Amino acid sequence: MMPEALWTARELADVWKVDVDDAFACHGVSIDSRTIEEGDLFFALIGPNSDGHDYVKMALDKGAAAAVVSHYVDGADRDRQIKVPDVFGALVKLGRAARARVDIPIIAVTGSAGKTGTKEALRLALDRDKKTHASVLSYNNEIGVPLSLARMPRDAAYGIFEMGMNHKGELRELVKLVRPHVAIITTVELAHGEFFSSVEEIADAKAEILTCMEDGGVAILNHDNPHFGRLKKRAREAGVKRIISFGTAPEADVHVLRQVMHDTCSCVVADLGGKVMVYKTGMLGQHWIMNSLAVLAAVDAVGGDLGLAGLALAEMTPLKGRGKRHRIFFRDGSEASFLLIDESYNANPASMRAALMGQSQVRLDHRGRRIAVLGDMAELGEDTEQLHAGLAEDLKEAEIDRVYLVGEKMKHLADNMDESIYCAHFNTLDDLELALLADLQDNDVVMVKGSNSSGMFRLVDRMLEMAAPNIKKAVSA
């Protein structure tokens, strides 16, 4: 039995005011011909480096129900091409229509770090209660948000949308589409400093998520963050009806009463506005305890089941590039191995500190060492040198034993490292890889992180693909 159509031809015709063949319905929405599934609606978006029209025939041949185009593509089934004046504009209109046809609690998530993880935790927490739709991966920009909206089923009970930005005004436009009832700002830190003159400007840009909320809305804000007061003021100015703070201080509406960190989980006793809750989270690090507070505050705000949410947090495991762990064995016939912590999805000073603190939480076995492998952080503006050098204190606090650095910007950190920590800097990832793999010992704990432009994910992939001669196999820990 086929599931209910995501969009019927008649609905698409009404949204776009065009003639559409009534003989089809679509069950998904895609902008990538490589991942097309049967029944998808394919949007032939035109980007700076590619034109989706070049892949219309491929998408239709793979089973797409129809393709949205700005001009007909020769050689592809004309009856299954829906011509519109602007393909991207059509996607935005479909996202807006998807939002208009549901009357359910909508949650938006932004912040300088922790957006995707918090969104995923919310999805799991609410989906245990009722059908929940959420953005996939990090679809949080001008294309990802309308795409995520357009994919929202008509029978969803909750909707969760991640929103990112690197320029002033971006979130203001995205929130007009999403119109959330609840908005979470995980934290405000210096990220995308190349496009902002101060962290205060970043805080104001994050606060744009509060400017178009339904029914006054609920803002969930990090009480521990230095910019909490500024965000609270912006929420009041935006007419937000209710503000919920979360953090470690008793003054926060949702706060930690007690916490214990273990190798594979963190156990928490929290006060949720007068309700005491005991739970654990499978995501490691102090920042994840903070994120879990925001998640539970949001679940409570939309009337979700807190008990089920707590169970979901316990079962959550780190995502690829965001703390996922792998046990990698050496090819020497023994059981010798090291732990690889993959934090390779992007980086800024805040997420670097969080990753290092998470690594420091891992208990070392006999003679094991903590090794941090770090690549350049991008988009930090004129403070780049200072912010890279400033990681030296974080490495020392996290009790890191050895540091491997790559990239021009990381040279600033290398020049400022404490002499008690072994540090090696390389110009290329290949050179770093050779030196790192030659140095690894049994029970080492290796954490890899850097901005996407630094390519640290490639190092992780090569290690997992057994590219090095001294590695036997990799298995998820």
Strand bridging mode 445-449 / 370-375: parallel
Order of strands across the sheet that contains 471-476: 422-426, 402-406, 370-375, 445-449, 337-343, 324-330, 471-476
**Domain at 7-84, CATH homologous superfamily:** MurE/MurF, N-terminal domain (3.40.1390.10)
**Domain at 102-315, CATH homologous superfamily:** Mur-like, catalytic domain (3.40.1190.10)
> How far apart are alpha carbons 381 and 201 in whole angstroms?
14
286-301 helix and 115-127 helix, angle to the nearest 10 degrees:
50
> Which residues lie closer than 8 Å to 243 by C-beta, 6 or more apart?
218, 219, 221, 232, 235, 236
- What is the arithmetic mean of pLDDT over 395-403? 96
What is residue 379's DSSP assignment?
Answer: S
3-class secondary-structure state, position 217 = coil
C-alpha distances (whole Å) from 234 to each of 18, 197, 202, 209, 240 are: 41, 19, 13, 10, 9
> How far apart are alpha carbons 83 and 431 in whole angstroms?
51
Burial class (CB in 10 A: 0-12, 13-18, 19+), 336: middle
> How far apart are alpha carbons 358 and 305 in whole angstroms?
29
- Evaluate if residue 117 carries a pLDDT over 50: yes
164 phi/psi in degrees, rounded to 5: -120, 165
Alpha helices in 238-379, H assignment, sequence order: 286-301, 306-315, 349-360
3-class secondary-structure state, position 253 = coil
- Segment 48-95, tens digit of pLDDT: 889 999 999 999 999 999 999 999 999 999 999 999 999 999 999 999
Average pLDDT, the chain: 91
- Evaluate if residue 312 carries a pLDDT over 60: yes
Check for a shared fold between 102-315 and 324-476: no
> How far apart are alpha carbons 290 and 437 in whole angstroms?
34
Question: Domain spans of the chain?
Answer: 7-84, 102-315, 324-476
> How far apart are alpha carbons 132 and 121 in whole angstroms?
12
- Paired strand residues for 258: 269
Q: What is the pLDDT of residue 193?
A: 59
- Segment 162-196, tens digit of pLDDT: 999 888 999 999 999 999 999 999 999 876 556 78
- Segment 380-394, tens digit of pLDDT: 888 899 999 999 999
Closest to 451 in 3D by CA, of 332, 347, 320: 347
Order of strands across the sheet that contains 218-222: 132-134, 158-162, 106-110, 182-185, 218-222, 242-247, 254-261, 266-272, 275-281
- What is the arithmetic mean of pLDDT over 248-275? 93
Distance of CA 334 to the CA centre of its chain: 37
- What is the arithmetic mean of pLDDT over 218-238? 97
> How far apart are alpha carbons 453 and 392 in whole angstroms?
22
Closest to 310 in 3D by CA, of 357, 353, 276: 276
How long is the chain?
477
Distance of CA 254 to the CA centre of its chain: 23
CB atoms < 10 A from the CB of 118, how many? 27
> Which residues lie closer than 8 Å to 353 by C-beta, 6 or more apart?
391, 394
> How far apart are alpha carbons 298 and 306 in whole angstroms?
10
Model confidence band, residue 473 (pLDDT cutoffs 50, 70, 90): very low
Percent of the chain residues topping a pLDDT of 90:
76
* DSSP track, 144-157: HHHHHHHT--TT-S
Give just the sign of the alpha carbon dihedral 289, 291, 295, 298.
positive
Closest to 84 in 3D by CA, of 118, 41, 116, 48: 41
> How far apart are alpha carbons 5 and 294 in whole angstroms?
34
- Evaluate if residue 476 carries a pLDDT over 70: no
- Segment 22-31, tens digit of pLDDT: 778 999 999 9
- Segment 421-453, tens digit of pLDDT: 999 999 999 999 999 999 999 999 999 999 999
Q: What is the pLDDT of residue 477?
A: 43
Q: What is the pLDDT of residue 469?
A: 45
The pTM of the full predicted model, rounded to 2 decimals, is 0.85
More reliable by pLDDT, 293 or 471: 293
- What is the arithmetic mean of pLDDT over 142-167? 95
More reliable by pLDDT, 3 or 469: 3
CATH number belonging to the domain at 324-476, selected among 3.90.190.20, 3.30.230.10, 1.10.10.10, 3.40.50.11610: 3.90.190.20
281 sits in which H/E element: strand 275-281
Question: Which pair of structure tokens corresponds to residue 23?
Answer: 């003989």
